[in-house]
A and B are shown apart, each in its own frame.
Chain A
């Protein structure tokens, strides 16, 4: 396949950045999107230009490190991570636009690489169960209904890639935060901290400069792990209960 690529280049956080156009030839349909960029980078190298910086690590769709806006859609046209998007999705001769995640809370480091540490700080605000090592009761001491465990798993499958933020017109991290709240509130082990957790995590989300949720649903539409939109209503119910309890 031969393609025209329009790619955002930005040398550092202070640089203004601009779109640049490149041509790539001979891309295999079996290649992943990032392998296509690898091929482009080898060509840029051969021409004496600097390769394009982009994040990736596991390239198996699970670590959450990759993330590019492709033709205006976070992770591109398929519901998957950028590393699991394959070139067979595109056609010979296509023009593809490639940009970084855009959100105030995700400053650009270089080219397509952004800083997502804000998501870690939301977790630090309460996205855990307070249990020390070495004193846990036998795992069978507390049964968990299968439907709760399955639903908790569904929410826990979030990989923290930030596509939800990139897709949201408000740049809200609500899907990410709700997924964690839902995962932990469904399990008996996580219940004691529910209300404090939801309040603290939401406050941190605001502090980081993420926008508010206005129920648009773009987040769930691009989520590569298909975290359901209704985790947000689960969070809102917890928030309501927290308010009633005066937390």
Chain B
């Protein structure tokens, strides 16, 4: 490790690499090769091995169901009251798969290519190739489970196209694809519960990880209904706890989404990959005011038929949009990016919407003096296809929009604005989805692996299910096969006791502050700092300022927060939030440090100092072609940056252009 403190904030450690992906075979054979080389566990021995899974979204639910089905002893933990509530359920648009059912030249290679490119060349080639490769199996699996995908009259599956691609490879179930896929995984999971291979722990949050002899060996959970801390020991731990977008307070994430599980693991040694990579989604319902608790996304499939525009003249912005004639409308995406038009990738659509509003051409209510909204107009689609056809395609989204805003989108154009949606950073994992802590696996949005700087639409659902149904069941064996000789841990083992005590100390410390501010007030303040300085557009100066502000806020938190109620004996939602916000404060600082060190614009993160003459994002492959994997160096210690070089053997690096 270098002794020099870089920018006064971090140190640089040794380089790291993924050692599990076979690189001596063509990429199309890497996964087969890895599966063949991975050690196996005899079916009779599997029931002797215990795996803990945290989270029951697409990745966790699918992994728990699959590992249970294989015969492992699975314990699954989730903070909601039922496994079916995980936030994957809210994904609307669809799931990609290289089926080429449309005969439009789709292929595994093309899906791979599009995803790496859409990720602005900051994802690992081998992982993304595998994702594309198993995508077709995912659809087969889900159909067999009874997922009611959209079909055509002939009985075959329907497809649609999604932002950033030119083929129709997205499978969907109206605007509720995530719900239907999650219900499929949930049902498979409940089947295993009935079979006795999986035990569920609802209303339990993971508050600490147990590491013994350098290996992940269990977790400390908190029963949210009773406040009781419990220790659970296992042979391996899988974290599938989703993203950390709630660090921004306002995001499209569910209220309970949090970073505690991955942050606790990070503090116990797991590297955090690319923390500043946040996906901003272009089609969310704009903020209504300061009582708002969250933002709602509208499926980006709407961009297939909706046309995005703002008035050409700022003085028209407060007019009824129906009274603004065609020649006074600026269909800015169609104008700037004629070949992709309204279907440009998410980062571009988001940034241009922000530019229009910053120019003073935004529409809708003003928040802090600026109208932050652009029109998504279906008038042309209704004219072309008829209202019924539009309703058949997007009806539930239109209803949802009307419910939230009180406006009827069949009559008046929708208003949309970008919002924080998905986090592409997460715990660093290798090709096996294993973190640098042996026995700690991370799946779905909680890991960083298959994402680049900005994912394309319909690939998050694909990754969750790919990790859960197909990757983990084939890679975790390799670790478990070597677990028989590990020493047995029990409740009284020092590492277990230490983890329990540290979890208890954290609860006690939070309860003891007894200051005067509520947890939510801190969370909102943190969110403002993050959105302002570490959101869609970042500058060196802003990020430095944000780091100072977060440090101050964190200091105040531990002196002035108050958690009402009891820590034991009853449900205490303030205490749940308090623990999570404490972790968000530390994570927020790391996100800013990561953003500060990455002096390039890349997909969704626009570094103002790095842009092309046309104002587009300018990547610096010569300097930043790596994954930034951060090591926790201790309380109030500067974190250590480990770089994993990204190797592109199959795809040529190009500056992205959608013009």
Footprint of B on A, CB under 8 Å? 11-12, 27-28, 30-32, 34-36, 38-39, 42, 45-46, 48-51, 53, 55-65, 78, 80, 84, 86, 88, 109-110, 113, 115-117, 119-120, 123-125, 127-134, 136-140, 142-146, 149-150, 152-153, 156-157, 159-160, 183-184, 187, 189-190
Contacts and interface: CB of A to CB of B under 8 A. Distances in A.
Nearest to A87: B291
B346 interface: no
A125 to B, nearest CB: 7
B84 interface: yes
Which of A134, A138, A150, A190 counts the most B-chain CB atoms under 10 A from its CB?
A134
In order of increasing CB-CB distance, the 5 nearest A-B pairs are A143-B155, A128-B187, A136-B144, A30-B288, A153-B148
B606 to A, nearest CB: 27
B152 A146 contact: yes
Contacts of A145: 151, 153, 155
Nearest to B183: A156
A110 B157 CA distance: 45
28 contacts: A28-B289, A30-B406, A31-B288, A32-B293, A38-B520, A50-B565, A51-B564, A51-B574, A53-B573, A55-B81, A57-B256, A58-B90, A61-B403, A64-B84, A117-B81, A117-B82, A119-B82, A124-B191, A128-B188, A128-B190, A132-B69, A133-B65, A133-B470, A139-B149, A140-B157, A145-B155, A156-B173, A160-B84
A205 B521 CA distance: 43
Given A65-B81, A139-B139, A187 B146 contact: yes
Contacts of B89: 58, 62-63
A129 B150 CA distance: 19
Given A133-B473, A160-B84, A139 B291 contact: no
A240 to B, nearest CB: 22
Contacts of A130: 191
B339 interface: no
A140 B156 contact: yes
A157 B174 CA distance: 10
B143 A143 contact: no
Nearest to A44: B564
Nearest to B399: A80
Contacts of B144: 129, 131, 136-137, 189
B156 A143 contact: yes
A53 B202 CA distance: 17
A49 B574 CA distance: 12
A27 B291 contact: yes
Nearest to A119: B82
B162 to A, nearest CB: 18
A189 B139 CA distance: 14
B69 A136 contact: no
Interface of B: 62, 65-66, 69, 80-87, 89-90, 99, 101, 137, 139-146, 148-157, 173-174, 176, 178-180, 183, 186-188, 190-191, 193-194, 200, 202, 225, 252, 254-256, 288-289, 291-294, 296-297, 400, 403-404, 406, 469-470, 473, 518, 520-521, 562, 564-565, 569-571, 573-574
Given A120-B190, A156-B183, A139 B157 contact: yes
A214 B193 CA distance: 31
B221 to A, nearest CB: 17
A124 B194 contact: yes
B81 A116 contact: yes
A42 B145 contact: no
Contacts of A128: 145, 187-188, 190-191
Given A11-B570, A53-B571, A109-B225, A116 B146 contact: no
Given A58-B90, A64-B85, A149 B404 contact: no
Contacts of B469: 133-134
Given A110-B571, A127-B190, A136-B137, A86 B293 contact: no
B76 to A, nearest CB: 12
A136 to B, nearest CB: 4
Nearest to A127: B187
Contacts of A55: 81
Given A12-B570, A125-B194, A190-B146, A62 B80 contact: no
Contact of B85 (A50, A63, A109, A156): A63
A127 B292 CA distance: 37
A49 B187 CA distance: 41
Nearest to B188: A128
Given A58-B254, A144-B151, A88 B406 contact: yes
Nearest to A149: B151
Nearest to A152: B148
A133 B141 contact: yes
Contacts of B186: 123
A35 B255 contact: no
A129 B520 CA distance: 42
Which of B81, B154, B404 counts the most A-chain CB atoms under 10 A from its CB?
B81
B187 A31 contact: no
A129 B82 contact: no
Which of B156, B178, B255 counts the most A-chain CB atoms under 10 A from its CB?
B255
A64 to B, nearest CB: 6
Given A63-B254, A65-B85, A124-B193, A146 B571 contact: no
B475 to A, nearest CB: 14
A30 B256 CA distance: 22
Contact of A28 (B254, B291, B470): B291
A120 B200 contact: yes
A55 B569 CA distance: 18
Contact of B148 (A88, A139, A149, A159): A149
A134 B176 contact: no
Given A62-B89, A109-B225, A183-B148, A38 B406 contact: no
B148 to A, nearest CB: 4
Contacts of A124: 190-191, 193-194
A82 to B, nearest CB: 12
Nearest to B141: A136
Contact of A38 (B153, B194, B225, B293): B293
Contacts of B87: 57-58, 63
A128 B573 CA distance: 33
Contact of B140 (A125, A137, A159): A137
B143 A139 contact: yes
Nearest to A111: B571
Nearest to B563: A45
Given A12-B570, A133-B65, A133-B469, A59 B293 contact: yes
Contacts of A109: 225, 571
A57 B81 CA distance: 10
Contacts of B403: 61, 78, 80, 84, 86
A114 B461 CA distance: 30
Contacts of A136: 137, 140-141, 143-144
B296 to A, nearest CB: 5
A60 to B, nearest CB: 5
Contacts of A50: 564-565
A59 B33 CA distance: 44
B164 to A, nearest CB: 24
Contacts of A51: 564-565, 573-574
Given A125-B194, A133-B141, A133-B473, A30 B565 contact: no
Contacts of A157: 176, 179
Contacts of A138: 140
Nearest to A84: B403
Contacts of B139: 139
B225 to A, nearest CB: 5
A123 B146 contact: no
B89 to A, nearest CB: 5
Contact of A110 (B174, B188, B570): B570
B145 A189 contact: yes
A57 B255 contact: yes
Contacts of B520: 38, 42
A90 B151 CA distance: 40
Contact of B569 (A12, A32, A48, A123): A12
Contacts of A61: 400, 403
